[in-house]
Amino acid sequence: MLELYGTTISSRLLLGTARYPSPAVLAEAIRRSETRIVTVSLRRETASGKTGGVFFEMIRDLGVRVLPNTAGCHSVSEAVLTAKMAREVFATNWIKLEVIGHHDTLQPDVFSLVEAARILTAEGFEVFPYTTDDLVVAEKLLEAGCKVLMPWCAPIGSAAGPLNLTALRTLRGHFPDVPLIVDAGIGRPSHAATVMELGYDAVLLNTAVAGASDPAAMAGAFARAVEAGHEAYHAGMLEPRDMAVPSTPVIGKAVFA
Ligand SMILES: CC(=O)[C@@H](O)[C@H](O)COP(=O)(O)O
């Protein structure tokens, strides 16, 4: 079981809720993913006006936990204000903290991220920081009070999959007891399985499901991939080797009568 800020969660797949063709498709994708946590952007959803209330009701009816996010925020003050509004709207101290620093890559501004994380944890928030795969930044976020880290594996929406397995492995190695969730850039179930095979605790994804031809079916595929990667990690995988090793041991010589 996954434990996040003292809460036990039965699924290791977290799902974004943006860019689905319709609310009905989103609802079916959530069901098929078996996720227990969806992330919701307060700014984007309420910006759509009339549909905001209906959208939030639907999420509530599905019985999943909401992890509000600060998507679209570009400064510490914007992110902190958005987090406080989200706490009011969703009645949760959980916040997925995003402070975007770069227009083209949507790369987090890690300096502002650490500052915002420090402010929010001091105010009682339980912060899930969307960060890069940088080890030193990860250390600063932990010092700031974060108890979960969410490194990207590639830019948001790129579907590029894990671009730097070494960096992800390094984070896992340095923080064996911190829940690590890969957030952003996953494009295929095999990408999700790959990061889970590194020992990651969970993945959060949006575009790969929302943008699929059949989002609900893709959500189901991701659910199985995440579980497969997790089980494989704990089952003890073989290290690749250069030389062949016969898979069928041969004893003596065959005797032909
Ligand atoms: C939905 C969310 O909160 C993001 O962090 C992000 O959009 C996820 O990235 P992908 O869309 O690349 O999966």
Using a 6 Å cutoff on CB, does residue 52 contact ligand 1?
no
Residue 121 to residue 102: CA distance in whole angstroms: 24
Residue 152 to residue 133: CA distance in whole angstroms: 6
Using a 6 Å cutoff on CB, does residue 205 contact ligand 1?
yes
Q: What is the pLDDT of residue 47?
A: 45
185 is in an annotated binding site: yes
Annotated catalytic residue within 50, 84, 96, 253: 96
Q: List 205's β-bridge partners, or say none.
A: 15
Using a 6 Å cutoff on CB, does residue 39 contact ligand 1?
yes
50 assigned to active site: no
Structure tokens at 208: 């790969």
Q: Are 147 and 181 in contact (CB under 8 A)?
A: no
By alpha-carbon position, which residue is closest to atom 2 of ligand 1?
16
Which atom of ligand 1 lies closest to the CA of 155?
12
Residue 32 to residue 223: CA distance in whole angstroms: 8
138 is in an annotated binding site: no
pLDDT in tens, 10-48: 999 999 999 999 999 999 999 999 999 999 997 655 444
Q: List 96's β-bridge partners, or say none.
A: 69, 128
157 is in an annotated binding site: yes
Residue 28 to residue 225: CA distance in whole angstroms: 18
What's the distance, CA 87 to chain centroid?
20
Q: What was the ipTM of the complex prediction?
A: 0.95
Q: Are 17 and 39 in contact (CB under 8 A)?
A: yes
Q: Are 127 and 160 in contact (CB under 8 A)?
A: no
Using a 6 Å cutoff on CB, does residue 16 contact ligand 1?
yes
Using a 6 Å cutoff on CB, does residue 185 contact ligand 1?
yes
Q: What is the pLDDT of residue 256?
A: 74
Residue 91 to residue 82: CA distance in whole angstroms: 13
By alpha-carbon position, which residue is closest to atom 8 of ligand 1?
184
Q: How many angstroms does the Cα of residue 251 sit away from the middle of ligand 1? A: 54
Pocket test for ligand 1, best of 33, 204, 218, 226 (most atoms within 8 A of CB): 204
Q: What is the pLDDT of residue 251?
A: 79
236 is in an annotated binding site: no
Using a 6 Å cutoff on CB, does residue 162 contact ligand 1?
no
Which atom of ligand 1 lies closest to the CA of 150?
5
Q: How many angstroms does the Cα of residue 17 sit away from the middle of ligand 1? A: 9
pLDDT in tens, 149-175: 999 999 999 999 999 999 999 999 999
Q: How many angstroms does the Cα of residue 159 sit away from the middle of ligand 1? A: 10
List, for the chain, all residue ranges whose pLDDT scores fall below the cut of 70.
Answer: 43-52, 257
From the CB of residue 236, how many other CB atoms can be counted at a distance below 10 Å? 6
SS3 content of the chain, % helix, strand, coil (to 5): 40, 15, 40
